[in-house]
Amino acid sequence: MPVRMTQLAPFDLIVFGGTGDLAHRKLLPALYYRELDGQLHDDSRIIAVSRRDLSAENYRDWAHKSVAAQVSNLCNMSMERFLKRITYLSVNVEENTGWESLEETLKGRENIDRAFYLSVAPSLFGPICSAIGEHNLVTDETRVTIEKPIGRDGESAHAVNETVGSVFKEHQIFRIDHYLGKETVQNLMALRFANVMFEPLWNSAHIDHVQITVAETLGVEKRAGYYDTAGALRDMVQNHLLQLLCLVAMEPPESMAADSVRDEKLKVLKALVPMDEERVRRNTVRGQYRPGASAGGAVQGYLEEVGSPDSQTETFVAAKVEIANWRWAGVPFYMRTGKRLASRLSEIVIQFKDLPHSIFLEEAGTISANQLIIRLQPDEGVKMQLMIKDPGPGGMRLRKVPLDMTFAEAFKVRNVDAYERLIFDMIRGNQTLFMRRDEVEAAWKWIDPILEHWSNDKEAPKGYTSGTWGPSASIALIERDGRTWHED
């Protein structure tokens, strides 16, 4: 079935960090795809901004190469149209130079949707917003997107929010968590709220526990400098994993309106059982990868990779999270995330309870409890594990069978990158898939005590061999409760 595309009203998108890695790998290819689908009005412009002294033509060459590196089968006509709408300006935020050229470029276009995308180090969010304010570049139809990380603890996140909030109103601020733009994450909402069959089962009476895994096979690569000051808890758990948890656990929102959804997510964050010292000790595991094998080749350990032999930064986190409300009391949410793990896999597993009573003879075989598996990567899709009768004669023998819907196979459509959806939601002014200030601060409020107890703790993160599923303590964390991590 053809996908319906509506053209957007003209806009000016100003990308700070236009020469950076995110622009190269994600933003430019995402924008090109929207061009290909005819969604960009002739009068829409992309204005790339960064420090270096480049001509617009040099930048367009670079942008062309960026898109070609990510997109196979380029369409020459679309590419030509795409490049024509791109321009480049040199602004040095730290030295506060070059703003006049941006002012000049935007002049006379005050009635057109204006979107600033801050794809730069978080330390520049404040200075950029202040300068945007001072140069009177904020119109009623202006929005700003800020990338993660928003702060490195509750206090710094509050400071970032204050600075950005002093120039932009909350309805103009788009805090991006690209996990929320993934097809399967959207489908989680469709699954829960567009079908009647799940809601009656979606609670502690029928669900035994939930697992959320976000596993990478890569090490820190080029992000070593940033990563060593952040670690997996700040980089992944505070935002992506907690957001996924919220979408699984939230009450049905009144509508898909941004604040309805965000109000419900906020309630979940507020209902998380606080991590006191005892809970941090019992219910969290932090690890750090050691040398091993990944994708068939030998790889260095974290300490060698970052060149910092004393680093205590965690590259793996597992945690048991409890939610104190009627729906989820007594249902643990187990989360784990890490680098250099056995495979690249992101999934949510809803583990239903065992049957209250089996009517089948022992010869029928073991009856496994149902599982709903929502896969975010590598192959986005949804799988339901059911028990059925083994076909053919031979009596009643039961077998576990997946009802499997891999989206790429089911719909034969290109897998749309989260950034394509999110950039355009931002330009349209739809905040449903973006985090509100109070959500970000509530997430930090839960994370801060973990950071604090870990930093007081003299114990180093537990080592794990690259290419495995993390430290054995992570397996012990879940097995202690008589459960196991899901394996296909």
Applying CB under 6 A, the residues found at the interface with ligand NAP are 17-22, 50-52, 91-94, 119-122, 124, 147-148
CA dihedral 211, 338, 422, 137 (to 10 degrees): 130
Q: How far is the CB of 58 from ligand NAP (least distance, A)?
A: 12
Element spanning 191, H or E: helix 183-193
Query: Which residue number is nearest to ligand NAP in terms of Cβ?
Result: 20
Nearer to ligand NAP, 50 or 337 (CB): 50
Q: What are the Cα distances from residue 44, in Å, to 18, 73, 116, 201?
A: 17, 24, 14, 47
Judge whether 426 and 142 are in contact, CB under 8 Å: no
Residue 240 annotated in active site? yes
User: How many Å apart are CA 171 and CA 148, to the nearest integer?
Assistant: 18
Element spanning 400, H or E: strand 398-406
Half-sphere exposure of 366 (CA within 13 A, CB side): 4
Q: How far is the CB of 223 from ligand NAP (least distance, A)?
A: 7
User: How many Å apart are CA 4 and CA 52, to the nearest integer?
Assistant: 39
Pick the catalytic residue from 135, 158, 240, 453.
Answer: 240
Q: Which of 15, 46, 22 is nearest to 32 (CA)?
A: 46
Nearer to ligand NAP, 236 or 280 (CB): 236
How many beta carbons lie within 10 A of that of residue 310, not counting itself?
6
Q: How far is the CB of 116 from ligand NAP (least distance, A)?
A: 13
Nearer to ligand NAP, 229 or 415 (CB): 229
How many beta carbons lie within 10 A of that of residue 320, not counting itself?
20
Q: How far is the CB of 5 from ligand NAP (least distance, A)?
A: 27
Token digits for 415? 């897998």
Q: How far is the CB of 148 from ligand NAP (least distance, A)?
A: 5
Nearer to ligand NAP, 22 or 369 (CB): 22
Nearer to ligand NAP, 61 or 80 (CB): 61
Q: Which active-site residues does the annotation give?
A: 240
